[in-house]
Amino acid sequence: MTTIVLVRKNNEVVVAGDGQVSMGNTVVKSTASKVRKIEKRGVVAGFAGSTADALTLFERLEAKLEKHAGNLSRAAVELAKDWRTDKYLRRLEALMAVGDKENSYIISGTGDVLEPEGDVIGIGSGGNYALAAGKVLMGTDINAEQLAKKAIEVAAEICVFTNNNVKIEKI
């Protein structure tokens, strides 16, 4: 499990994730990076779920972005369709939070491409804690990067599957 938060504030888009990788009740790594940036397309993404599954999905997202000229909305829908219908991809267990300068989405293996109502997305075991903290912090003067980091730190205080080794990517 993991915690990922994506924040849109003042023309900044930031995705942050904790560094904990757990197997059952055991922490096997505390410095993992679960957030990525697709520099060429101005997209940031975070993954919650199995690491190998997340890496596979990230590669697929990147390919869809290339195919659809960087159109994140189209790439997200096409990835979700493949994820739901492809025999191999259907077995992948992960969630993705992705964003560019205009859009933010949660993509799931059930074919969902969800656009949040606000400017904060939280996924993973501590996602609801980070989401709640992020929503409260949106009303403060801190920037998007500080907000995302603080939201993960709040989740780390509550969720045993989240640590405060925060990795951040922004556009």
pLDDT digits (tens, 9 = 90+) for 17-41: 999 988 888 999 999 889 999 888 8
Catalogue the E-assigned strands of 10-93. Answer: 12-17, 21-23, 26-29, 35-38, 43-49
Average pLDDT over residues 149-162: 97
> pTM for this one?
0.92
33 and 167 Cβ atoms separated by less than 8 Å:
yes
Whether 149 shows a pLDDT value over 80: the answer reads yes
Q: How confident is the model at residue 11 (pLDDT cuts 50, 70, 90)?
A: very high
Position 157 scores a pLDDT of 97
Contacts of 45 (CB under 8 A, 6+ apart): 15, 35, 36, 37, 38, 58, 61, 96, 97, 98, 99
Domain boundaries, the chain: 3-170
Give domain 3-170's CATH superfamily.
Answer: Aminohydrolase, N-terminal nucleophile (Ntn) domain (3.60.20.10)
Question: Tokens 């992948």 label which residue?
Answer: 92
For the annotated catalytic residues, the residue numbers are 2
